[in-house]
Amino acid sequence: MKLWSTWKKKPFGKRLAALHAWNAWLVLVLAVSGMLLFFQPFRELGRIRVLTKEAHIWLGLLSVVVLLLYLPSLIRHIRQLKGKPEQQWNLGVVLVLLVGWIVSGIVLWQFRRLPPVWSNGALLVHDLFTWVGVPYAIYHSVSRSRWLKVKQRKTASADGEPMPAAPSLAGSVRHVLYTRRSFIRWSVAGVLVLLVGPKFARWLFGGGGAGVDLADYIPGSDGNHMVPEPVPHPDSVVPIGGGSKGEFRIYSVTPIPAFSSDNWAFTIGGLVNHPQKWNWKQFTDIERKVQVSDFHCVTGWSVYHNTWEGIPLSKLLEMAGIQPKARFVKFYSGDGVYTDTLTLAQAAVADVMVAVMLDGKPIPQDLGGPVRLIVPKMYAYKSVKWLQGIELIADEHIGYWEVRGYDIDAWVLGLKPKQANL
Ligand SMILES: Nc1nc2c(c(=O)[nH]1)N[C@H]1C(S)=C(S)[C@@H](COP(=O)(O)O)O[C@H]1N2
Ligand SMILES: [Mo]
């Protein structure tokens, strides 16, 4: 209360200056933490990444508070900026950016209460605003920095008077080059366009993804060396799903591992009657099925209509023979680090598959090939990449991301089958 009355008593200009400073710091910290979250190698830090995400959310909510404190002053502020079109424009851009970040951020934060399409749209907006907003903020802070203002004043007084308005092209070039402030401004803008432009264009026109476009994938072109190549089922050759829609972002908590058919093996062990060990050739000889399903990541992106070809998990478990004591199925990645678990009932869901092909091609190394798990109705942290081992266990095992804060209940809203024991 006391805080509030001191705040109200502050002169208008001081209040605006304080809000501006708060907002600037928040945008800076949110930009840095947001970029880190976007940066794939940061995943290797596990728990630190989850904490960074939580901090990012809380700071984002704090920026809502700052915006709410500002709103009552909006009309008066706009009036104050009369006759200063550049500053009005800046205010408009900043408000649009903040509102866009906040609204999309809240949707991403509340993803569990919303169907995946909402998160997909929100992630697109959040990313797009970041690609535009961060360069804008850098430009804004450099071109308005106090240092430049001081310099400009000095230049102006040394010349006797400020540079006159430039009438011709040559004149404008001279104007740009000769006033220090605008020269630096244009250089900053130029460098930013050169740095961010190509990536942004790729992001924008490449479907908004940041990963693998399957249409461009040439089998055998990556680090995996698996021979013979599996022969696709007729339903996969021309994918019955019509081809994946969207781009997979490449996620890994380790450097991407590579595999060769010379030493690759797939095992099923633990509480089973017939432990199994297949080499690559034997594994590709197991009968495969084709299914079309969507793929949803908790961070907000989805890939739709994937035509997966592989062995239903229930089929593999049947071959191994589950012992009565077994209650969970544990999955091991060939990266040596990542694991996850399903209950027996979850593992029996029909579309849970040990996949070997995607859209008629071997699964790319980056996307977890040669063999990955897919659990389409759960968030994709359950879909263990580079799957090489399955173990039937009696006591629950907590998976890699679940240990670090992800929900053990990974069902996507609306996709959980209506069945009591799931
Ligand atoms: N071995 C392994 N499997 C993994 C992960 C991982 O980091 N390592 N990330 C999971 C997460 S969070 C997602 S969203 C998907 C991403 O799959 P993709 O990289 O093929 O797009 O893989 C899942 N399986
Ligand atoms: Mo994910």
Is the per-residue pLDDT at 66 higher than 50? yes
What per-residue confidence (pLDDT) applies to 164? Answer: 47
Q: Which residue has the tokens 């909006």?
A: 74
Give pLDDT tens digits for 186-195. Answer: 777 777 777 7
Q: Is the CB of 253 under 6 A from ligand 1?
A: yes
Is the per-residue pLDDT at 1 higher than 90? no
Is the per-residue pLDDT at 166 higher than 50? no
Angle between helical axes of 12-38 and 116-143 (0-180°, round to 10)? 120
Residues 6+ apart with CB under 8 A from 294: 116, 302, 303, 304, 305, 306, 376
Q: Which residue has the tokens 């700052």?
A: 66
174 phi, psi to nearest 5 deg: -60, -40
Contact by Cβ (8 Å): 358, 314: no
The distance from CA 99 to its chain's CA centroid, rounded to whole angstroms, is: 20
Beta partners for residue 29, in sequence order = none
Residues 6+ apart with CB under 8 A from 39: none
Question: How far apart are the CA of 103 and the centre of ligand 1, in A?
Answer: 27
What per-residue confidence (pLDDT) applies to 172? Answer: 62
Q: Is the CB of 272 under 6 A from ligand 1?
A: no
- Tell me the C-alpha distance between 57 and 62, whole Å: 9
58 phi, psi to nearest 5 deg: -65, -40
- Tell me the C-alpha distance between 205 and 137, whole Å: 23
- Tell me the C-alpha distance between 162 and 291, whole Å: 70
Give pLDDT tens digits for 41-52. Answer: 889 998 999 999
User: What's the pLDDT band for 157 if we cut at 50, 70, 90?
Assistant: very low
To test the pocket of ligand 1, the residue of 49, 250, 385 to mutate (highest count of ligand atoms within 8 Å of its CB) is 385
* Mean pLDDT value across residues 293-320: 97
Question: How far apart are the CA of 267 and the centre of ligand 2, in A?
Answer: 25
- Tell me the C-alpha distance between 306 and 277, whole Å: 28
Is the per-residue pLDDT at 89 higher than 80? yes
H or E stretch covering 51: helix 47-70
Domains of the chain: 2-150+173-205 (1.20.950), 212-403 (3.90.420.10)
Which ligand has the nearest atom to the CA of 400? 1
* Mean pLDDT value across residues 134-158: 69
Atom of ligand 1 nearest to the CA of 299: 14
Question: How far apart are the CA of 180 and the centre of ligand 1, in A?
Answer: 49
Contact by Cβ (8 Å): 261, 281: yes
* Mean pLDDT value across residues 78-88: 92
How big, in percent rounded to 5, are the helix, strand and coil portions of the chain? Answer: 50, 15, 35
Residues 6+ apart with CB under 8 A from 158: none
Question: How far apart are the CA of 129 and the centre of ligand 2, in A?
Answer: 22
H or E stretch covering 193: helix 180-205
* Mean pLDDT value across residues 139-154: 67
Is the per-residue pLDDT at 167 higher than 70? no
- What is the residue type of 343? T
User: What's the pLDDT band for 154 if we cut at 50, 70, 90?
Assistant: low
What per-residue confidence (pLDDT) applies to 216? Answer: 79
- What is the residue type of 104? S
